[in-house]
């Protein structure tokens, strides 16, 4: 039973001051989402699925393929190499999408690594990041609620129009 004095207004009446749902954020308006996941091999798939849903909901599907590929590389590295949880933050600052992946490993990736052979199962992540992202970088993070150390690796994709 409702006890507040606000009258019920259906969602299809968004111009009223008492609408139950806010108006959608304008396309050029800033927003961000964050997902934290445990060190679990299902984490990268869950991150990709959420990223795709976010981009589809905000009508940014043209960025999905590149964003999912890069997020998958970064989250997979976090699950394989870090001891503990990891997280993904998705930020929109029109016309740039920034995806950041953090984990508790203090080891930043080496900027230039020798090329791996065609049979190698790992070692291509930074090369893919360099080729596909418009910009990328990383930084160490300090003390936090989850302990000391850690890093964030981020990439940006610009909307082309």
Helix axes 64-81, 125-132, angle to 10 degrees: 160
Average pLDDT, the chain: 84
Mean pLDDT, to the nearest integer, of 48-70? 97
**33 vs 1: CA distance, rounded Å:** 32
- 68-125 pLDDT, tens digit per residue, is 999 999 999 999 989 899 999 999 999 999 999 999 988 877 765 656 666 666 667 7
Tell me what pLDDT residue 16 has: 59
**82 vs 3: CA distance, rounded Å:** 48
The set of residues, in sequence order, having a beta carbon less than 8 Å from that of 22 and lying 6+ positions away, is none
Using alpha carbons, select from 114, 35, 118, 31 the residue that is nearest to residue 74: 35
pLDDT at 5 over 60: no
């Amino acid at each position: 039973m409702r006890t507040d004095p606000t009258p019920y207004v259906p969602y299809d009446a968004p111009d009223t001051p008492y609408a139950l749902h806010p108006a959608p954020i304008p396309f050029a308006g800033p927003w961000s989402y964050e997902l934290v996941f445990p060190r679990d091999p299902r984490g990268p798939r869950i991150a990709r699925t959420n990223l795709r849903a976010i981009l589809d909901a905000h009508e940014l599907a043209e960025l999905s393929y590149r964003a999912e590929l890069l997020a998958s590389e970064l989250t997979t590295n976090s699950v394989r190499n870090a001891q503990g949880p990891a997280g993904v933050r998705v930020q929109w600052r029109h016309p740039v999408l920034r995806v950041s992946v953090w984990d508790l490993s203090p080891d930043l990736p080496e900027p230039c690594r020798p090329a791996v052979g065609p049979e190698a199962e790992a070692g291509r992540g930074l090369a893919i990041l360099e080729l596909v992202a418009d910009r990328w970088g990383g930084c160490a993070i300090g003390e936090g609620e989850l302990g000391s150390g850690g890093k964030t690796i981020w990439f940006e994709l610009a909307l082309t129009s």
